Structure formats: structure tokens, C-alpha cells
Amino acid sequence: MYAANPTPNPFPSGANGFIAETADPSHLHPARLREALGRFVTGVTIVTAGARGGELAGLTANAFTSVSLDPPLLLVCVKAVSRSLGVIRATGGFAIHLLDAEGGSLARCFSRSDGDKFAGIDLGFSRFGTPRLPGYLARFDCALERDLAGGDHRILIGRVRDIELTVTRAAPLIFYRGQLGRRT
């Protein structure tokens, strides 16, 4: 039944420190959205793909989460124009490295779109052939399960086929307000 007198808004404009904004999408510019999303602390990962003797690709990503424990599924978002996306699709797999607090220079290196990101790195390969980087807290080797459209990104869902954990008790590398840092 329609209520003639709906419940009043308990948080009117300016109450409790909140500033009410309209649902008008004209103020949802990408820069404003990036600023708002930057207020959420995330971990930092590097996604690698490729094969020994073949083309290698890698990128820094903070849009990462678990999807399911059974079956073991992870999600990472990759720019739709990323060169790495083609290598991931061609090889059918990728690895996600959760970086420790000392991984800032590695994260910056893999955030570039040009140059040889793997130059000078003590690179290994998993039993599935994906590139293995040094300096991670955990590493997930995944088979590409799904590749979904998500605006200007692709949402990749990987089925975990191997996990590596380091014995270090190092802090994680975090990303907050556009800056790399460590938990304090």
C-alpha cells in the first residue's frame, strides 16, 4: 500500500557530517570517481603472463579479490587496451603476485605501458609456465576461466591451480589516494 507520509530521511543534507549529493550523473567525471575510489585502501598486485622463451607480459593491478573458495576463483580487472590482455588470452593463464611493502619499485615498473618490464629481474617460471617474480607475500597461478566486459576494463576470473606462500612476515604494499605505501 502507498504511504501518504513516507518516513523522513534520517540524514538530511549536511547532517552527521555527510554532504548529500544528487543522483545527477553530470558530476561523475572519471577524475572525481578516481578521487573517491582512492579513499579505499587496497593491496597491490602484479599480474604476469607468458611462457618461457615466448612473449612475456605484466601489469600492476589493485582491482583484485577472491570470488569463491570452492571452486577456487579469483578476479582481477585489466584495462581493455592492455597489451598484457592479449598474452593472457593467448596463453590461457596468468599469475597474481601479492606484493610486500618493499615492492614499490616493482609495482611502478609494471605500471608503465612501455619498455621491458622484466629487464634485470630474477625471473622464474611456475610449473604451468607463468612468469614468477621475486618479492611477493603470496602468488596465485590461475587458468583463465572467464573474460567479461566491464566498461573500459576486462574482468578476468581465474581458477586457482597453484598457490605459493612466502615465509616472510613482511607487511603488504598498499595503495591509498594515489600513493604506494605500507601499513603503519
What CATH class is the domain 44-177? mainly beta
The H-or-E segment that residue 91 falls in is helix 83-91
Q: Is 116 left (phi over 0), alpha (psi -120 to 50) or beta?
A: beta
Q: What is the chain's Cα-based Rg?
A: 20
Distance CA 155, CA 46 (A): 15
Report the C-alpha gap between 134 and 138 in whole angstroms.
10
Query: Would you state the pLDDT for residue 107?
Result: 87
pLDDT, tens digit (0-9, with 9 covering 90-100), for 42-51:
678 999 999 8
Dist CA 15 CA 130 (whole Å): 52
Q: How many CA atoms lie within 13 A of 58 on its CB side?
A: 26
Over its length of 184 residues, how does the chain's per-residue pLDDT go in tens digits? 334 444 454 445 445 555 555 556 666 778 887 777 666 666 789 999 998 788 999 999 988 999 999 999 999 999 999 999 999 999 999 999 999 888 888 988 999 888 889 999 999 999 999 999 988 999 999 999 999 999 999 999 999 999 999 877 788 887 766 666 676 6
What pLDDT digit, counting tens, does each position of 94-113 carry?
999 999 888 888 988 999 88
Domain spans, the chain = 44-177
b (16+ CB within 10 A) / e for 71-95? eebbbbbbeeebebbebbeebebbb
